[in-house]
Amino acid sequence: MSRRTLSRALTFVLALAAGTAAAGASAPAAPIPKAPGHRLVDDYSGAPAAAQPLPGAQPPQHPYLAANGRSGMHADGWGSATYPWSGPLGDHPQTGSERMALLGGECANVTFDRSGRIVTVCGTFSGFLVKLLDPHSLATLAEYQLPQRPSTVEAITRLDFSRIFKDTSGGAYSYLDDQDRLVLADSRQHILRLSHRQKADGRWEFTVTDAWDLTGQVPHDCVTWTDLHPTGTCDPVTSVMPDWQGRIWWVTRQGRVGTVDPATGTIRSVRLPGEEIQNSFSVAADGVSIVSDHALYEFTAAADGTPAVVWRQTYDRGTGTKPGSVNQGSGTTPDIFGDGGRYVAITDNADDRMHVLVYRRGTDVPAGRRLVCEIPVFGSGASTTDNSLISWGDSLVVENNYGYEDITSLTFGRSVVGGVTRIDVRRDGSGCDTAWVSDERSPSVVPKLSTGNGLIYLYTKDPDALGIDAWYLTAVDFRSGRTRWKQLLGTGIGYDNNWAPITLGPDGTAYVGVFNGLATVRDGG
């Protein structure tokens, strides 16, 4: 079966599933099924690692976010992708999973409330679901239905489900705030703040405590089932994050940058003409770092909340979108890092080899000195990433996503060219050096680092001559780049990660968002 034929077949199945979901049917709680062949591949390789905590200071705690490691996809306000506690060490690891829908159900973001319960957003074809989960059984305690995204309607009506997999809007980039409330932008250009509570009868529920309507400043003539051919403009909101003064910042795909003052409801915005924003962004006490498909920006807010550009730095955006990228531009959420947050890092989209770019963040830095380094990574003609970097101390870790586009990309035993690299900024700030290179193939996951044990967690898939699609949680030593162990989570499309993150829970469990829901690995030794 060719990839095109498979894509058409899957599109038809997705359309049927969407119709089933719209009719109100739901899948019973069950593990994600494994495709044939899971008994023919290694279940585990390597050996347990000894915890070797990393020296250094954690990113500062953002006053309006849940505790570091609990708040969102990139773990903290700086976007470090690090956790202060240990993840699994590979000691007799035990795996589990929960299927969140008949088809689809991927949990794109995992956060933890103060009691350790999971607050997540999972994508289904009838709309995203905000879910409260038991962290051990993954049982659903409560859920809240978000409106269906226009991209889903387009995928079904135009038989092109790639639209779904390249859409970063609708709630995927959400965050848990300092009061355990989930904040997100839905597909109707509203920012919602949801709380969860246990009722007198013991059941849990979500409640919308606040809602802010952005449609006065964001075009919203979007495709719906009742209007399949709108004549206006639709500009989806892609991400939200608070600044250190409590404003909620938001960005849209078509380059709008705005703020909401939760106390007054005042909304302010500006437009980056001709630019697109598909990634999330990071915030420090002194500013907000946002990357478009043309440039990296540092923003602050004026007294009335209007976003103001502090500096702008263009980068090499290449001549087209690579396989493994959502658009023609950087695929990374900016990483703020270094002593006091003095640096910010992204990747570019240069044609031959992608570069890791490090910049000085200071407002008094001359334009000619803002760039610290641009380090080419991975092979010629096969180099891109659409995931955030890991940052710790003065080090960065980047993975190669070249060749991954959607859940049909790696079927029948195929994989990506792969590669993972650590880059270190020199202590005197004079440049950067490559510390190590790993050959691991981590096609699309948002990787994470446990500073509590010194392990980087990847989600890998190797080529298989028998056509088995086997997906592994893989632990790599941060210091050396050596692979320590691999644990099979499952086989087949249901376990394809499709751009979701690895998340390390406070109890040491690793959670991986996969196409059919959420999978787990925890030590059992």
DSSP string covering 116-127, please? S-EEEEEEETTE
pTM: 0.94
Element (H, E) at 173: none
Label residue 226 exposed, middle or buried (CB < 10 Å: 0-12, 13-18, 19+). exposed
Q: What is the pLDDT of residue 136?
A: 96
DSSP letter (8 states) at residue 169: -
One DSSP character per residue, 95-155 reads EEEEE-SSS--EEEEEEE-TTS-EEEEEEETTEEEEEEE-TTT--EEEEEEPPPPHHHHHH
CA atoms within 13 A on the CB side of 159: 9
pLDDT of residue 214: 98
Q: Average pLDDT, whole number, for the chain?
A: 92
What gap in Å lies between CA 228 and CA 153, rounded to an integer? 8
Q: Residue by residue, what is the 3-state secondary structure of 36-66?
A: CCCCCCCCEEECCCCCCCCCCCCCCCCCCEC
pLDDT at residue 415 in the model: 97
For residue 465, which phi and psi values (nearest 5 degrees)?
A: -65, -25
Confirm if 175 and 135 have CB atoms less than 8 A apart.
Answer: no
* Euclidean distance between CA atoms 292 and 278, whole angstroms: 7
The DSSP H or E segment spanning 224 is none
Q: Let me know: does 255 contact 277? Beta carbons within 8 Å.
A: yes
Cβ–Cβ under 8 Å, residues 481 and 440: no
**Residue from 150, 269, 153, 278 nearest 215 by CA:** 269
pLDDT for position 155:
78
The DSSP letter of residue 340 is: G
List of E strands, 439-516: 448-450, 455-460, 470-477, 483-491, 502-504, 510-514
Q: Write down the pLDDT at residue 16.
A: 36
Reading phi first (left if > 0) and then psi (alpha if -120 to 50, else beta), residue 293 is in: alpha
Q: What is the pLDDT of residue 148?
A: 85
Tens of each residue's pLDDT in the chain, 525 residues: 333 333 333 333 343 343 333 333 344 569 999 999 999 999 999 999 999 999 999 999 999 999 999 999 999 999 999 999 999 999 999 999 999 988 789 999 999 999 999 999 998 877 899 999 999 999 999 999 999 888 888 878 877 776 777 777 888 899 999 999 999 999 999 999 999 999 999 999 999 999 999 999 999 988 888 889 999 999 999 999 999 999 999 999 999 999 999 999 999 999 999 999 999 999 999 999 999 999 999 999 999 999 999 999 999 999 999 999 989 999 999 999 999 999 999 999 999 999 999 999 999 999 889 999 999 999 999 999 999 999 999 999 999 999 999 999 999 999 999 999 999 999 999 999 999 999 999 999 999 999 999 999 999 999 999 999 999 999 999 999 999 999 999 999 999 999 999 999 999 999 999 999 999 999 997
State the pLDDT at residue 172: 87
Minimal CA–CA distance to 352: which of 389, 378, 329, 325?
378
Interatomic CA distance for residues 42 and 475, integer angstroms: 15
